[in-house]
Structure 1
Amino acid sequence: MTRTALAIATLAAGLVLASSPAHAWGPRGHRLVADIAEAGLQPQARAQVDALLEGETEPTLAGVANWADELRASDPDLGRRSASWHYVNIAEQGCDYDAGRDCRAGGCVVEAIRAQAAILADTTQPLEARRQALKFVVHFVGDVHQPMHAGYGHDRGGNDTQISQPDGTRDGRGTNLHSLWDSGLFRDMRESESAQLARLVGTAPVAAEAGDPASWAEGSCRVATTEGVYPPRPKIDGAYIATWRPVAERQIALGGARLAALLNDALSAGDAD
């Protein structure tokens, strides 16, 4: 068994003991991205991550993966200041990212990843600044791989596109396209988080390059604008979920591999303290 495979097996076993099955890309998807990334960390990066997260309630990448979404309650001021860092709207631009046009004053997920990764990599920064940057990076790399986070501005990344799910899914109640891709595609899965993790690791690139967050956003945008993602009728059926759930899972696996590569690059030298 390779070191990566062994790490995944250990993570999966821990999830069986520690996690009840959740049914959302929101918390679940972010944790999966983080767990896939953690398994791909090189020793030096892993040591720095461990040092940076020392003292956290759950000192793992998955343990802080949803921190940025929780800021609205835990730190409303930082939550407001970072609200626009979770997404970028480029679908109207043919999925072609231009910083001056699409991300004024750095207020989008692409520039947030770049800025926070730079803070994380800078060993002259205070420990707390680097710890916060790590939390932001883990979350935002997950966000940029959710297609609606790089979609259309006119409907706020699918938030204003109302749909209803099949009877038996949330009792057939209405939702919106963004929420569907955040959580609805996974809501009725019977598979545990640990089993899903073990399966998705096999689909993640073995040695992904970190690449550039702009290209990640453009790729997610191309998913969001693929024919059929916006359903022709307000009520979706099981065939929609069967078609697009694997696409969402590929995005999660890709996000985890790229997060690992970014962290390995950013933490390739120096000590956390």
Structure 2
Amino acid sequence: MSVKVTGMARLIASLLVVCLLLPAPARAWGPVGHRLIARLAEADLSPQARAQIAELLAGEADPSLAGIANWADELRADDPDLGRRSARWHYVNIGEHQCGYEAARDCRGGHCVVEAIREQAAILGDRGKAKTERLQALKFVVHFVGDAHQPLHAGYARDKGGNDFQINIDGEGSNLHRLWDSGLLKTAGLDEDAYLKRLQAMPAGVDTAFLTAAAPVQWAQQSCALVLQPGFYPRRAKLDPAYVRHYRPVAEQRLRQGGAHLAQLLNSVLGSS
């Protein structure tokens, strides 16, 4: 028996093909990088913060910070409306301004990673809010602190944070943003657990004695400063192995700092004792 394909069915099939061909959005650090930052932070939580986080995460498929670390990147598929509304919360473009941050210019309406961290941290720390709202804020905070420590999430608007800067690594085409998301880390040849041990053995190199309201600005500016360093943008499309040797330790240090800063923020918001 023949089946007549309706015009609507043909349209749906065509849309599915188009969706499959569309490039996936770049993810800061990639899933493994975000999980590493979350696991680093989890090890440094205060007892009070740990208890509150456990209460908020009760019922999650993976009730850990690592288990929710990539939730904000998965919204595009799981909750398209929230994914669209929060899309600009993952980055701030300050490279064109020599890494100086001005909220009115760089974060109109609060739509950037700096103000998103501040706003979601305030929601997380408000015990008068519903548990569902605080849980969502926790998921955003864990992810956005990671984003703020990926250099190209605080870089140039003109090349979309390195997404438009094409490179070739080991004979395969890529872009600078993707290289920093996951490419540099993959060259180490370590699985997640081994990488965690490697990062935990590194000094955090941050002052965790106190946290100021300006901290998210500072994290973004530190990321931007790396982007503006001579040599951060490769001179040739074909990536020199020396680039990986020089910048992979830098990426690892940003992961280590991201974990320390995330723990610092969570301890401050949820209690330090």
What TM-score, normalized to structure 2? 0.86
Provide the rounded CA distance (Å) in 2 between the counterparts of 1:162 and 1:47.
Answer: 45
Aligned CA distance change for structure 1 residues 39 and 118 (closer, same or farther; 3 Å): same
SS in structure 2 at match of 1:180:
helix
Asked if residue 165 in structure 1 is aligned to residue 169 in structure 2, the reply is yes
Q: Deviation per CA, 1:191-219: give whole Å up to 9, x if none.
A: 22112111211222486243410011000
1:35-82 alpha-carbon deviations (Å, 9 max, x no partner): 000000000000000000000000000000000000000000000000
Shift in alpha-carbon separation, 1:269–1:84, aligned structure 2, 3 A: same
2:262 pairs with 1:265: no
Name the structure 2 match of 1:7: none
Matched, 1:103 2:107: yes
Cα distance in 1 between the residues matched to 2:216 and 2:98: 17
Q: CA deviation at 1:90?
A: 0.1
Given that 2:46 and 2:272 are in contact with CA atoms closer than 8 Å, whether structure 1 keeps it comes out as: no
Counterpart of 1:247? 250
- Tell me how far apart the structure 1 counterparts of residues 262 and 272 of structure 2 sit (CA, whole Å): 17
Matching of residue 78 in structure 1 with residue 82 in structure 2: yes
Q: CA deviation at 1:225?
A: 1.2
Partner of 1:12: none
Q: In structure 1, the residue corresponding to 2:199 is in which secondary structure?
A: helix
Whether 1:90 aligns to 2:94 is: yes
Identity percentage of aligned residues: 60
Equivalent residue letter for 1:249: E
Q: Identify the residue that residue 139 of structure 1 maps to in structure 2.
A: 143
What are the Cα deviations for residues 240-272 of structure 1, in whole angstroms up to 9, with x where unaligned? 1111000000000000000000000100189xx
User: Could you say what the CA RMSD is over the residues aligned between the two structures, in angstroms?
Assistant: 1.5
Corresponding residue number in structure 2 for 1:174:
173
Partner of 1:193: 192
Q: How does 1:1-273 map to 2 (within 5 A)?
A: 25-166=29-170, 172-203=171-202, 204-205=204-205, 208=208, 209-211=210-212, 212-268=215-271
User: Do the aligned partners of residues 188 and 120 (structure 1) sit closer, same or farther apart at CA in structure 2, a change above 3 Å counting?
Assistant: same
- 1:239 deviates by 1.1
CA contact (8 A) 1:210 1:259 kept: no
* Residues in 2 aligned to 1:76 and 1:157: alpha-carbon distance in whole angstroms: 22
Gaps of 5+ in 1: 1-23, 167-171
Structure label with greater radius of gyration: 2
Q: 1:189 to 1:182 in 2, by over 3 A?
A: same
Contact 1:87 1:150 in 2 (8 A): yes
Give the conservation status (yes or no) of the 8 Å contact 2:206–2:257.
no
Q: Structure 1-normalised TM-score?
A: 0.86
8 A contact 1:45–1:267 mirrored in 2: yes
Which amino acid counterpart does residue 258 of structure 1 have in structure 2?
Answer: H
CA distance in 2, matches of 1:190, 1:157: 26
Q: How far apart in 2 are the matches of 1:188 and 1:179?
A: 13
Query: d(CA) in 2 for partners of 1:119 and 1:183?
Result: 30
SS in 1 for 2:167: strand
